[in-house]
Every structure is written in C-alpha cells, then in structure tokens.
Structure 1
C-alpha cells in the first residue's frame, strides 16, 4: 500500500509475530537470556508473563528457534484443553505413536518411554506453552504430574509457561501450590520506554528495507511512545496508521498530526485528552 512511497520492501508493522523483527530491548533481551540460562541448568518450570501485546508470542517463537538443534521441543499454542488432550498434544509434538494407546495411562507410558529415549541420547526435552493463563486448573495439575517423570539425575521434561498476568492469579490458588513451588525462574516483560520505542521503530523500518532519513518526526515518536504506553503491539498499530495518514497526504515523513489521526482511530491507547501537558 504505502511501501513504495516510503522506499520499503515490505510492511514493517504487521501484527503477525516475526522473529526477524525482534528487537533486543532491555526487558526482552533479559527475558531471553534468563530462559536460555534456566533451560541450560535443566530447571523444571520457568514462567514468563507480560501484558497483552508486549511480545510474549514473539519471544516464544524466538526461543523455539534458539533451541532448534539443541533440544527436542513441543509447542502448545492453545492450552485450553482437558488433561487427556494436553497429553495427546504433547505426544503428537514429540512424534509419539499413540496408535496402540487406549487410555490415559498408556499415553503417559508412551510419553515416558519417548522422554527416556531422548534422555539416553543426551537431548533435553522442552515443552513451551503459550497463553498459559487459559489453562484449566485440572490441566495445570496434570502438567505438574507430567513433570514428575524423571531419572535419578535429572528431570525428563522442562516446561516454559508464557502468559498474561492472569496466570499469576491462577497459580496463586492454594490447590496449585505444588506447581507454583516448582517455578524456579520467572520474569515479567516490561513495556518499552521512550528511547526503546524510537529504537524499535527504526529497527523495524530497517528490517523492512528502509535506509533513508528519520521517517518519524521526533514529536511523532514521542507521541507514539506516550499514547501506546510502550506496548509493542500498540506501537505497531499507531506507526502503521501514521504511515497511512502520511501516505494519504503525500508526505514523506510522519508528523505528530498524522499520529494524532492514528490515535483517534485506535482503541486501547491513551486518549488525547489524557496526555496532558506532556505534549
């Protein structure tokens, strides 16, 4: 749409997670480092939380890429499943043949055999669950029981939970205290600060092929940072709509006025009347 007008090879602010656009901003870089260190230590449970739109799914995919060739991974993007379906989903991800399994006990036995095989090969197995706040309580308890599978020396399965802050509320239930106690590492993703928002925008533009002068005016950058609250998904939405507004007027740079148009057209951002004298 506006790509050729601004000298872009592709749309830079698509909402679909793309690891090529990952910016190692302080909070996200720290979270990735913690994940890799904790998994290297063969810890059982690791938890990453963050508000909607802070980049959890992107970080999740980046982790899976980092583990490629180093670990056997199972990825469950929609964990709103009963316990039996969770076991079957994990088994499918680990390429376990369940054709001869008629009940949950047999599925677990087959899973345990596969985990033992991987352990014998020296290959760690990592289960990554996105949107973990949606897991039913019974399924979370079933997940804990799944991690009871172990040898005398180490756990056979490591679990990484990605979720919204509601996951903390869920895990705070007394009935889930055993699982909560097994979470040895945890991290909460923070929104981008003002400087990181500017860096984030420039990084994505560069990845999309832009190599000209600043495409967003300084005032536009400040307004995007303030109105988005540093939430990457909202930064993407406002930047995209700002580019649309500038393109529609034939402008070569996104101004504060273009961002104002984007704000008025976007829910979930801080409204102009609440921005106060900062502007």
Structure 2
C-alpha cells in the first residue's frame, strides 16, 4: 500500500488493538493505575467504561499482558452468555475439564474447588470481561454470585468489567443494585485532547518506523482532532484514509485537504462546521494570494 512510499515498516493506524502501539496517554495510564491498585486490594468488582473506540480493549490487553505471575486470569472477550454458558466459559479458562460435569450445581462446585486450590497456591484469580454491556441481567447476577466465593482472608475471584456507557445504565437498574454496590473501583475513559491526538499520531508513526519530517502538518492534526472527536479508533480510520489519499496523489505529506476528504468519507466522523470550512477557505485564499504576489515579484 503506502508503507514503502512513506518509509514505514508496518501500517501505523490499523484497527486491531496492538499493545506494541500502546502510548502512555493520561486517560489510558490512569485507567491502568486504577486497575492495578484495585487488583492489589484483592476484593470486589472493578469497572472501566468508555465510548466506542476510546481504547478499552487495548487497555484490557495491556492489563492482561502486564499481570504478574501471581495472578491467574480468565478472559472472556465476548460475554453475551447465559449463566450456564458463563460458568462453562470460566471453567474452561481456568483449565477445568468439564467433560464429566453433568449439571450446573456440580459445575459450580468444581469451579469453587479449582479457585480454592489456586488460592492455596497463593494465586489471585481475576475474571476479565470485555464488552460487558452485552451481558444479560441474569448473567450479571451469576457474576455477583461468583464473588461470594471467599476464604476467611479474601475473595476467591475478582471481576473486571470493560464496557460502553450502556453498562452504567444497566447497572443503575434497581434489580442490579447488589452488584452495583460491589463495585469498589471504577474509571471512565475520556476522549483525547488536541495535544494528545498530535502526540498519539507521532507515536504510532514512530513505532511504525517513520523517521522523516512531521508527516501531518499542524492544520491536518487540528482537523483530525475535530473530525475524530479525540476517539482513537476514529483517529486511526481518518489517518489511514489520509495516508492513502496522499499516496494516491503522489504527495509526501498529509495536509488539511486530505483530512477533509477522509472525514467526508467516514460515517461516524464529526462533520466540519461551516465555520471550519470558512477558516479553511480563508487560509487557502491567503496562500494563493501570497503565491501570486511572489510570482509577480512584488514581495
């Protein structure tokens, strides 16, 4: 594609969450710090929420990669599961052979035995669920019952929920108040600021091997912030399209025009207001006037 044209070793703005591109931006670092402190406390539910595309899955994977050996993790990336399916998924993640299990009561007992054995070996067990807003209410209740399993000293399992803001709406329901009260730590991811967007773009380009002059000019970065609303997934989509447009035109950088076209081609991007278009048109007029004056030799 455009990798060779811009001197890149990998695609810098792929949508697949890749911890190799993790950048220590304030909201992501703060979320990880909350998670680490909460897990060390050893009890309760932990919740991280954020709008679509704000980096929840990347933070989830970063957390899983960085957990010390004293933790045993059961990771459920798609928790749209019934209570029975949820128990079976947890059992499989914990390495339990369920081929001889005949009913849910027996399965619950086998899971508890496994948790007790891991706890006796000084292991902390954490159950991590991505896209937790998809969990049915009865499965959320099943999760709460998991945290009832405990020794005299500590809970046998902690639960980390990653979800969209709809998760908070779900948990606000009266029938889920017992689970809501178990949430001891929570964090809400915010979008990136304009300065963070610029740093994010530079970082991903550097990780991808780019070594030249700034590839995105200042105006392009500002429009990228406006069009993406600071949402990392939208930043990646718009930046990728802008690179394709620049490459297709045989150019060696990204300007405001490339970003404008990328925004127009992206359904969830923030449309540029008439005021932004007026500013862009005015800037273009000034540039054209200056070029004409230089050509005439009057400057």
Report if the CA contact (8 A) 2:70-2:122 is conserved. Answer: no
Give me the whole-angstrom Cα distance separating, in 2, the residues matched to 1:22 and 1:190: 16
- Describe how 1:261-272 pairs up with structure 2 within 5 A: 261-272=261-272
| CA deviation profile, 1:119-140 (whole Å, cap 9, x unmatched) | 0010100100000000000000
| CA deviation profile, 1:90-135 (whole Å, cap 9, x unmatched) | 0000001212210111111000011001100101001000000000
Deviation at 1:67, TM superposition (A): 1.1
1:115 — aligned with what?
115
- For the residue of structure 1 that corresponds to 2:185, the secondary structure is strand
TM-score (norm 1): 0.98
1:42 — aligned with what?
42
Q: Does 1:213 align with 2:213?
A: yes
Structure 2, unaligned stretches of length 5 or more?
281-299
Structure 1, unaligned stretches of length 5 or more?
none
| CA deviation profile, 1:23-82 (whole Å, cap 9, x unmatched) | 111111000011011101112200000000000001110110011523100000111110
TM-score (norm 2): 0.91
1:85 — aligned with what?
85
Deviation at 1:275, TM superposition (A): 5.9
1:10 — aligned with what?
10
Give me the whole-angstrom Cα distance separating, in 2, the residues matched to 1:98 and 1:235: 44
- Describe how 1:228-247 pairs up with structure 2 within 5 A: 228-247=228-247
1:130 — aligned with what?
130
Report if the CA contact (8 A) 2:132-2:162 is conserved. Answer: yes
Superposition RMSD in Å = 1.1
Give me the whole-angstrom Cα distance separating, in 1, the residues matched to 2:132 and 2:156: 21
Larger radius of gyration: 2
Give me the whole-angstrom Cα distance separating, in 2, the residues matched to 1:268 and 1:191: 15
